[in-house]
Structure 1
Amino acid sequence: MMSYKAPLRDIRFVLFELMGADELAALPGYEDFTRDLIDPILEEAAKICEEVLFPLNRSGDEEGCTLENGVVRTPKGFREAYQTYCEGGWPSLACDPEFGGQGAPHMLGVMIEEMMCSANLSFGLYPGLTQGAYVCLSGYGSDELKRTYLPKMVEGVWSGTMCLTEPHCGTDLGLLRTRAEPEADGSYRLSGSKMFISAGEHDLTDNIIHLVLARLPDAPKGVKGISLFLCPKYLVHEDGSLGARNGVSCGSIEHKMGIKASATCVMNFDGATAFLIGEPHKGLRAMFAMMNAERLAVGVQGLGVAEASYQGAAAYARERLQGRSLSGAKDPEKPADPIIVHPDVRRMLLTQRAYAEGCRALAVLAAKQLDLSRHSDAAVRRDAEDFVALVTPIVKALLTDLGTECANLGMQIMGGHGYIRENGMEQYARDARIAQIYEGTNGVQALDLVGRKLPAHAGRLLRSFFHPVSAYIEANSGDKQLAEFVQPLGKAFQRLQQATAQVARAGMRDPDEAGAAASEYLRLFGLTALAYLWTRMAEVSFSEAQKSEDEKFYAAKIATARFYMQRVLPQTSGLFSSIMAGGKTMMAFDEAAF
């Protein structure tokens, strides 16, 4: 049986020792969020994840959601867990106090998201979608819409969705057909169908607020003709009470490989009353505010699964007796040694650990820059915005790719027992897999990185990462203690710089060349970013180990950093070679031969 314990020691290390979360209290709006407040919040989040959400993970997967007469019911225990979640004030944590939120930093919020995703990924999708809808509506909705809907969403008694995909179009939103007809009272009537809508219908909240992309009658063709609308499940009276059922319904729920306790719905809009968000024909800009928030959140889903899988695999490896150590019996009094003595098992466990802890650092770094982008002066804000824009596709794709790898490694470590449902490990592999697909497939994230982010503002976004990494390498190149980390980081960074130039040059000549290199380039970029963070983590650990009683923690951190540099980072050599080889071998292949 799987178990889960929130990795609070490492979370605190990343937040306070690596990223300086204490400094957030100096930013306007974050004055109260000192360590004295953040620590107990983390403790309480750990409790609800360990004691309330995790026990429902396997049962929710086995029971799944059900649809009967248009009503979707979540698995047993989910409604009570959601009520507990709301009573604790968790939906409001990162929301604006103007609408009843607590105004917490994203650095704190992202670590709580990780714990939820480790404990129960399906459950986490319900409040996660609401948070994304909150971001979109708070940024682009009219004052009237915000007053009407945001307080209830912040409280958690109403939830939100994002309705983009249609049966004939997913990523290519220019093909969508859902229509919006204007009414005399300023509202609109929506007609059409959306599919793959997470949390589209369920029994956790009193109302569900759908954010829907649709076309007006005079809409231009393509993505320039898309508008965004708010369409509630129940209409809302002027006093805030619920009125009649709106013309939106769930036609079916998907029977999926994983996240079975999350309701994935086909939603039908039959003349449903809706309200315009933002300007006509400019809905994508508003929707991408939500999508970018969701992409960072989906990356954290990969991180959460990686951590949970690692914990389960490490516990199993310490207990499972199988064979003898190649260098001689380690427990001669037992019939066999625990499998943790075997090099290949250690390789897999350390890979999981290096990925999980490295990805945690990257997620918090992105969250820190997001905080700075919203609470700092103009100069700091622009640099922070550039960094967030640059790393969003990397966080989404890298963390979900590595989360899936970790889930599969966990299953491999447990062998046949990992493949058996009742042991819990195979669920992580099934749950993690969707994160590489939804909110824009990871291939689309790679194209976004090379096609949009690299050339944006004449390469300005790249400077938000390249300059600090280059300065760090230069400043620490003479440090003998850090040499084993700085030197391989420097080589990987040089490869990244050369690959960047190659992708830019080749892409200008032939866009297919940039597309052919995109996925390898994103992976190269991501692994180099993790190397930078692992070097910084080693630096902090060397310093803190000398003045702390927690020597074992820092020793393990340094040892994991060494493993990453020596056994994981060399992947960048192969990725670099693949990028430099170009795309001729794939684009010249005869299409008829596939």
Structure 2
Amino acid sequence: MADYKAPLRDMHFLLNEVFNVPALWARMPALAEVADADTVAAVLGEAGKLSAGGIAPLSRAADEEGCHWRDGAVRTPAGFIDAYRHYAEGGWVGVGGAPEYGGMGMPKVVSAQVEEMVNSASLAFGLYPMLTAGACLAIHAHANEALKATYLPKLYAGTWAGSMCLTEPHAGTDLGIIRTRATPAGAGRYRVSGTKIFITGGEHDLTENIIHLVLAKLPDAPAGAKGISLFLVPKFRVNPDGSLGARNGVSCGSIEHKMGIQASATCVMNFDDAEGYLVGDEHKGLAAMFTMMNYERLGVGIQGLASGERSYQNAIAYARERLQSRAPGGPVAKDKPADPIIVHPDVRRMLLTMKAFNEGGRAFSTYVAMQLDTAKFSDDAASRQHAEELVALLTPVAKAFLTDLGLETTVHGQQVFGGHGYIREWGQEQLVRDVRITQIYEGTNGIQALDLVGRKVVGSGGAYYQRFADEIWHFIDNAGPALAEFTQPLASALDNLDALTAWVLDAAKRDPREIGSASVEYLHVFGYTAYAYLWARMAQAAQHGTGDSAFYTSKLGTARFYFARLLPRIHSLSASVKAGSEPLYMLDEAEF
């Protein structure tokens, strides 16, 4: 496996040349105090060094060793404790955390780049701080001041870790039927009992305490999702002076034996009259948890991107060195018995597909992160509302499209290696196994597609979609003739998406099955079109770039490849959407 190198040049290109985020930060007092171009460059540089030098070298051996469970305790692979300590000491767990509780206060657009680097280095390692950061968001947004003051500083410092405990053996995605119960115990305390499964980081040896955010129902809870409350349940109780007290009624019953992410502990967690504290209002727990889940969904999308980036770096290094056959036009490496495989058209197709998806995905995740920052920090109410609507629309796309393409990209990387891609010591098959979970957790990609079409497009009567489409049309109208080779196919793609959206809105009125029937393919058409918009913006910035001509030439060439070879996928996907729901219901159940 090639050594991982953080793609800092591309990150700075997006932040400074494509999106000009320093200007955005300057308009937001809360960010202007902590974020400027020089500070962010230093932050990303240090994160890149830590990811490449301190985390990435552990990934292969950690996958082989995995986590170990014995008598309720979980031991992480060799090297993880020290690596996590260094990571925490650098303040990286709290990189986006609230400064008043010890966080670094960086905008999401910065923490998104840090997340990518850490997850490229080791997706399994990156899950531990990711869950903690998400727990902090929910606590900061919904908990009372006493809970914030007690728990956030330790969580941001990485001394304690966080987890979220949602699903149960019988429930899956249908959280409305959970059985975990919370009983009032006086003095603001509750007794929580139940079993949760698939809990990432539910038990481990990286921190001295683990803070679980647990969905449960109170005795008088209404039926269904409206009866869910959220509780903070620590592994060890916390004394009034902040020190650790007795072990709480929380235990790990086992860890899952998984396809991938072997170094991440995926736990069955048992709560037996565990002491907990209400976060937010009674029966409003699902809404509070979504504060965490929506950030995590972008984070999961970034995991797909991160895996694809690592796969590409491995594949391009291998393709430049591996000798096999001669180039179609005649020998290139005439002094060698064969040419490097990068000369072959199919290898170039796979490498360029990976490169285009990775760089397009990085632009998309950065764009969504910008909207999150605007929604959170802008002083202008209209700007906040506009950003909130874009976040609502784009979050399911970020989670599902980035991870679907993450799997495709890692498989391409594996294929470049040929037979060696199937052998464990080369590392490519690990990336395929690891990234596969990203399409499943935090709401499967099918659920994300239903959310996009059902709630965000149809549910808003097309209004949320129109916000995004209007922005793209404005860009096209003002881009000028120099960008025509990109804006003309972008306009055609957006015409197609406009028409497809209108078709879905109309079809949903006639038959409720049409939403689910159209959703996955619609999401992909949306994703490819959104990438086309961002590739056009990157091409525009590259046309105006000065110095570093090789970088800009590469960017323009990759943009041309995207428009010529990848964007046309929208046509077959659109045809599938318009085929409607009838083909899905031609067979009776017994005929399957």
TM-score (norm 2): 0.98
Map 1:429-508 onto structure 2 (within 5 A): 429-476=432-479, 479-508=480-509
> Residue 418 of structure 1 corresponds to which residue in structure 2?
421
Give the letter aligned to residue 587 of structure 1.
Y
Match of 1:553 in 2: 551
Cα offset for 1:331? 1.1
Paired position in structure 2 for 1:220: 222
Partner of 2:590: 592
1:39-75: per-residue Cα shift (whole Å, max 9, x none)? 1111111100000000000011000000111110000
Aligned mates of 1:566, 1:314 — CA distance in 2: 21
**1:338 aligns to what?**
340
Match of 1:89 among 85, 88, 91: 91
Residue in 2 aligned with 1:171?
173
Deviations 1:452-484 (A, max 9, x none): 0113444332233111101112223xx333222
Q: 2:326 aligns with which of 292, 317, 324?
A: 324
Q: Is the 8 A contact 2:453 2:515 kept in 1?
A: yes
Aligned AA (1:11): M
Q: CA deviation digits over 1:242-263, x for unaligned, max 9?
A: 0000000000000111000000
Instruction: Indicate yes or no: 2:108 matched with 1:106.
Output: yes
Residue 27 (structure 1) aligns with: 28
Q: What is the identity, as a one-letter code, of the residue corresponding to 1:54?
A: A
1:211 matched to 2:213? The reply is: yes
1:399 aligns with 2:409: no
Q: CA deviation at 1:36?
A: 1.2
TM-score (norm 1): 0.98
- Determine helix, strand or coil for the equivalent of 2:269: strand
**1:512 equivalenced with 2:513 (yes/no):** yes
Task: For residue 509 of structure 1, report the CA deviation from its aligned partner.
Answer: 1.4
> Match for 2:9: what amino acid?
R
What is the CA-CA distance between 1:447 and the residue it aligns to? 0.1
- Distance apart, 1:147 and its partner CA: 1.1
| 1:255 alignment counterpart | 257
Q: For 2:466 and 2:152, how far apart are their aligned partners in 1?
A: 36
Contact 2:209 2:234 in 1 (8 A): yes
> For the residues of structure 1 that align with 2:463 and 2:138, how far apart are their CA atoms?
26
SS state at 2:388 partner: helix
Contact 2:458 2:508 in 1 (8 A): no
**Residue matched to 1:384:** 387
Gaps (5+ residues) in structure 2? Answer: none
Residues 61-94 of structure 1 show CA distances to partners (whole Å, capped at 9, x for unaligned) of 0000001111100000000000101111111211
Match of 1:184 among 183, 186, 210: 186
Q: Is the 8 A contact 2:211 2:235 kept in 1?
A: yes
The 3-state SS of whatever aligns with 1:295 is helix
DSSP-derived class of the 1:230 partner? strand
2: distance between equivalents of 1:126 and 1:417? 30
Alignment correspondent of 1:62: 64
Taking the aligned partners of 1:108 and 1:122, their CA distance within structure 2 comes to 21
Paired residue secondary structure (2:242): coil
Distance in 1 (CA, whole Å) between partners of 2:115 and 2:106 is: 13
Contact 1:352 1:406 (C-alpha < 8 Å) held by counterparts:
yes
> How far did 1:286 drift?
0.1
1-structure distance, mates of 2:92, 2:107: 13
RMSD of equivalent CA atoms: 0.9
Bigger mean CA offset, 342-351 vs 579-588: 579-588
CA distance in structure 2 between the partners assigned to 1:190 and 1:88 by the alignment: 35
The answer on whether the counterparts of 2:119 and 2:303 sit within 8 Å (CA) in structure 1 is yes
Matched residue SS, 2:40: helix
Question: What is the rounded CA distance, in whole Å, between the counterparts of 2:52 and 2:297 in structure 1?
Answer: 25
**Identity rate, percent:** 56
**Is 1:2–1:425's contact at 8 Å kept on the other side of the alignment?**
no
Q: Which amino acid aligns with 1:388?
A: V
- The question of whether the paired residues in 2 share the 8 Å contact of 1:113 and 1:300 is answered with yes
Separation (CA, whole Å) in 2 of partners of 1:228 and 1:575: 40
| CA distance in structure 1 between the partners assigned to 2:115 and 2:14 by the alignment | 15
CA contact (8 A) 1:258 1:430 kept: yes
Per-residue CA deviations over 1:182-228 (Å, capped at 9, x if unaligned) read 11333111111000000000000111000000111111111111111
Amino acid at match of 1:475: N
Q: Which amino acid aligns with 1:569?
A: L
Amino acid at match of 1:399: L
Which of residues 121, 124, 135 in structure 1 aligns to 2:137?
135
1:574: which partner in 2? 572
Inter-partner Cα distance in structure 1 for 2:425 and 2:274: 43
- Work out whether residues 2 and 424 of structure 1, in 8 Å CA contact, stay in contact via their aligned partners in 2: no
Distance in 2 separating the partners of 1:540 and 1:186: 55
The list of structure 1 runs, each at least 4 consecutive aligned residues, that deviate by more than 2 angstroms after superposition, is 455-460
Aligned counterparts of 1:339 and 1:520: Cα–Cα separation in 2: 34
> d(CA) in 2 for partners of 1:69 and 1:291?
31
Secondary structure (helix, strand or coil) at the match of 1:29 reads: helix
Contact residue 384 and residue 464 of structure 1 kept, 8 A: no
SS at match of 2:122: helix
Other structure's SS at 1:357 match: helix
Q: Write out aligned runs for 1:291-330 (5 A).
A: 291-330=293-332
- What letter matches 1:553 in structure 2? F
1:358 aligned residue: 360
Distance (whole Å) between structure 1 residues aligned to residue 37 and residue 481 of structure 2: 33
**Does structure 1 conserve the Cα–Cα contact (< 8 Å) formed by 2:461 and 2:505?**
no
* Displacement after TM superposition at 1:8 (Å): 0.7
Residue-by-residue CA offset, 1:247-293 (whole Å, 9 max, x unaligned): 00000000111000000000000111111111111111001111111
| Amino acid corresponding to residue 414 of structure 2 in structure 1 | M
Asked if structure 1 preserves the Cα contact closer than 8 Å seen for 2:462 and 2:505, the reply is no
In the alignment, the residues of structure 2 paired with residue 588 and residue 305 of structure 1 have an alpha-carbon distance, to the nearest angstrom, of 38
Alpha-carbon shift at residue 22 of structure 1 (Å): 1.4
Tell me, in whole angstroms, the C-alpha distance in 2 between the residues paired with 1:111 and 1:19.
14
Once residues 43 and 284 of structure 2 are traced to their aligned partners in structure 1, the CA distance between those partners, rounded to angstroms, is: 39
In the alignment, the residues of structure 2 paired with residue 146 and residue 191 of structure 1 have an alpha-carbon distance, to the nearest angstrom, of 24
Residue 54 of structure 2: aligned partner: 52
Q: Secondary structure at the match of 1:454?
A: helix
AA in 1 matched with 2:6: A
Name the SS for the 1:526 alignment partner.
helix
Q: Supply the distance in 2 between the matched residues of 1:457 and 1:336 (Cα, whole angstroms).
A: 58
Helix, strand or coil at the partner of 2:481: coil
Task: For residue 462 of structure 2, give the secondary structure of its aligned residue in structure 1.
Answer: helix
Distance in 2 of aligned mates of 1:93 and 1:480 = 41
Superposed CA offset, 1:406-448 (max 9, x none): 0000000000001100011110000000000000000000000
